[in-house]
Amino acid sequence: MTFSPAKWPRRLRSQEWYEGNSRDTIYHRGWMKNQGHPHDLFDGRPIIGIMNTWSDLTPCNGHLRELAEKVKAGIWEAGGFPVEVPVFSASENTFRPTAMMYRNLAALATEEQMRGQPIDGAVLLVGCDKTTPSLLMAAASTDLPSIVVTGGPMLNGYFRGERVGSGTHLWKFSEAVKAGEMTQEEFLEAENSMSRSTGTCNTMGTASTMASMAEALGMALSGNAAIPAVDSRRRVMAQLSGRRIVQMVKDDLKPSDVMTKDAFENAIRTNGAIGGSTNAVIHLLAIAGRVGVDLTLDDWDRCGRDVATIVNLMPSGEYLMEEFFYAGGLPVVLKRLGEAGQLHKDALTVAGSTIWDEVQDVRNWNEDVIRPVDKPLTDQGGIAVLRGNLAPDGAVLKPSAASQHLLKHRGRAVVFEDIDDYKARINDDALDIDETCVMVLKNCGPKGYPGMAEVGNMGLPPKVLKKGITDMVRISDARMSGTAYGTVILHTSPEAAAGGPLAVVRSGDMIEVDVEARRIHLDISEADLSTRLEAWTPNHEQRESGYEWLHQTHVMGADTGADLDFLKGCRGSPVGKDSH
Ligand code: FES
């Protein structure tokens, strides 16, 4: 930790708008006064933007306006001036074609809202999957002092006495219906038990993973990730974060001070320990690209390889976020990593202290939920990065969610050209497929879908499910929901729509996967592969205008985080010209 706080008092960027008595200043202040703000609020105190991803159509973040009031209270208490700013909210459960396509748009819009307005620091009020990375990307690109407050997970769901995990049980119930083990009426009854309160998915899905990533990166106060949305301590966390951001502005403690390479390595190891979502790979690569940290897919494999999963949460385990919180939450995991020599203890956090300072005295209150290191859920908690002629730029797999017997496998490819082709044929009993086959899905990557949808965990064909088989090897350039599971190889790069080798796989080809050796291989000759690639022409839908065109034209590969090429990097927060 090498951070030295800046001197205070000093002139802040917001004073470019509000200081003095020029015509422009009077114009800016005068308008703000129509909200009843006294004159002395414009005296140079930190102005804090509460970047709020609340939306009625992002139900996971539906309670963030209430939480914003607590953030405001904290900012006032610490002598700051809070301003709440609604920002683009990319909801996982409503946006089409996929919320992922809008992560970059949300990051772009938020970045410009932060830079173009009189804000000295920001509270990133987030929750649902894409809202956390998009705002972290914006903060990284502006490098304005920022602190993350997540909305927190929903309470446990229960159906007929059993825990129901968001997403995880949607897939399970849906497959049970297809296999004839559950009626449609029971499925509808279960629907009502899935979302018991406000908040994000209650599994260790992408939202909980990204909340944990924010905390492991040092961008949220310790303990933030797991507090349930409706627990009073969530509101306390919001208020404390509001207090803290004011001091961060005074100290000039910026995202680039916190999100260092060490911090990213801490986050990668944390992801392994929590059994976190594969989506974290893409988001952390994108955030690192914004803040100027050289992070690669190989860092994911290198750092995560020896990390055991110790958090026993769905989809890999049996409990939910509520129990994780009662057991002590992420600080316990970070402490365990530190004790195992797998944490950069000196990494700085938004609290102004080291991450080890924050966690070294915490206790584990339930060793079935957060396991001791010698009794892990799985030894291989990290994300495995596979390479070979089928994925020269890499593909990822989450070993903790996969079936052990499929981690080394050779099988006949059954190819679906795109998601519509998959949907049209998967339920056909005439489809030539059995459980030894490898399901291959193309054109679902960043350019191809477009947006890289969470369809990589293709449901199995009913005729296989009816045999009691629950997993097969699946390969695609898509993503997978953090709540999903299976031997699912994702993010295959380059993607099919960019002419990667995935594009030329044919049904009947043999594919070899060896996770231990980190290998994925299309068993055809080099000459045959070259001939096929030379003859390849794109067959995905190319958009002609609008944001989808911008996205398809500029999105980079999943192996570097699927950001837009012109948004990579930190542009800082220079104060632009005044137009008045
Ligand atoms: Fe929004 Fe899971 S769908 S948090």
Instruction: Tell me, yes or no, whether 123 and 247 share the same domain.
Output: yes
Instruction: Tell me, yes or no, whether 283 and 234 share the same domain.
Output: yes
- 63 CA from centroid of ligand 1 (Å): 13
- 428 CA from centroid of ligand 1 (Å): 31
Atom of ligand 1 nearest to the CA of 199: 4
Instruction: Tell me, yes or no, whether 151 and 161 share the same domain.
Output: no
Tens digits of residue pLDDT in 187-211: 999 999 899 999 999 999 999 999 9
Residue 1 is predicted with a pLDDT of 67
Residue 366 included in any domain: no
Instruction: Tell me, yes or no, whether 135 and 182 share the same domain.
Output: no
Residue 371 included in any domain: no
Domain boundary among the residues 194, 223, 251 is at 194
Instruction: Tell me, yes or no, whether 397 and 513 share the same domain.
Output: yes
Tens digits of residue pLDDT in 381-432: 889 999 999 999 999 999 888 999 999 999 999 999 999 999 999 999 999 9
Q: Ligand 1: which of 92, 277, 313 to mutate, most ligand atoms within 8 Å of CB?
A: 92
Closest C-alpha to ligand 1, atom 1? 128
Residue 230 included in any domain: yes
Tens digits of residue pLDDT in 333-378: 999 999 999 999 999 999 999 999 999 999 999 999 999 988 999 8
- 212 CA from centroid of ligand 1 (Å): 14
Instruction: Tell me, yes or no, whether 330 and 475 share the same domain.
Output: no
Residue 457 is predicted with a pLDDT of 93
Instruction: Calculate mean pLDDT across residues 476-505.
Output: 95
Closest C-alpha to ligand 1, atom 2? 201
Residue predicted with more confidence, 542 or 259 = 259
Instruction: Tell me, yes or no, whether 73 and 171 share the same domain.
Output: no
Find out whether the peptide bond into 59 is cis, omega within 30 degrees of 0: no
Closest C-alpha to ligand 1, atom 3? 92
Tens digits of residue pLDDT in 215-249: 999 999 999 999 999 999 999 999 999 999 999 99
Instruction: Tell me, yes or no, whether 331 and 351 share the same domain.
Output: yes
Residue 564 included in any domain: no
CA–CA separation, 257 vs 41, rounded Å? Answer: 29
Instruction: Calculate mean pLDDT across residues 25-52.
Output: 97
Q: Give, in order, the Cα–Cα distances in Å from 545 to each of 75, 549, 556.
A: 42, 5, 18
Instruction: Tell me, yes or no, whether 262 and 207 share the same domain.
Output: yes
Atom of ligand 1 nearest to the CA of 58: 1
Instruction: Find out whether 120 and 146 touch, Cβ atoms under 8 Å.
Output: no
Residue 579 is predicted with a pLDDT of 72
Tens digits of residue pLDDT in 468-488: 999 999 999 999 988 788 999
Instruction: Tell me, yes or no, whether 63 and 210 share the same domain.
Output: yes
Domain that includes residue 189, residue range: 157-194
Cβ-count burial 47-68 (b if 16+ within 10 Å, e if not):
bbbbbbbbbeebbbbbbbeebb
Instruction: Tell me, yes or no, whether 459 and 345 share the same domain.
Output: no
Residue 555 is predicted with a pLDDT of 98
Residue 567 included in any domain: no
Residue 64 is predicted with a pLDDT of 98
Tell whether the model's pLDDT for residue 580 goes beyond 80: no
Around ligand 1, the residues with Cβ closer than 6 Å are: 60, 92-93, 128-129, 166, 200-201, 205, 207
Residue 338 included in any domain: yes
Atom of ligand 1 nearest to the CA of 205: 2
Instruction: Tell me, yes or no, whether 183 and 145 share the same domain.
Output: no
Tell whether the model's pLDDT for residue 176 goes beyond 80: yes
Q: Ligand 1: which of 61, 154, 200, 320 to mutate, most ligand atoms within 8 Å of CB?
A: 200
Q: Which residues contact 412 (CB under 8 A, 6 or more apart)?
A: 436, 437, 438, 507, 508, 509, 510, 511
Atom of ligand 1 nearest to the CA of 60: 1
Q: Domain tally for the chain?
A: 4
**pLDDT > 90: what percent of the chain?**
91
Residue 281 is predicted with a pLDDT of 98
- 131 CA from centroid of ligand 1 (Å): 10
Residue 404 included in any domain: yes
Q: What mean pLDDT, rounded, does the chain reach?
A: 96
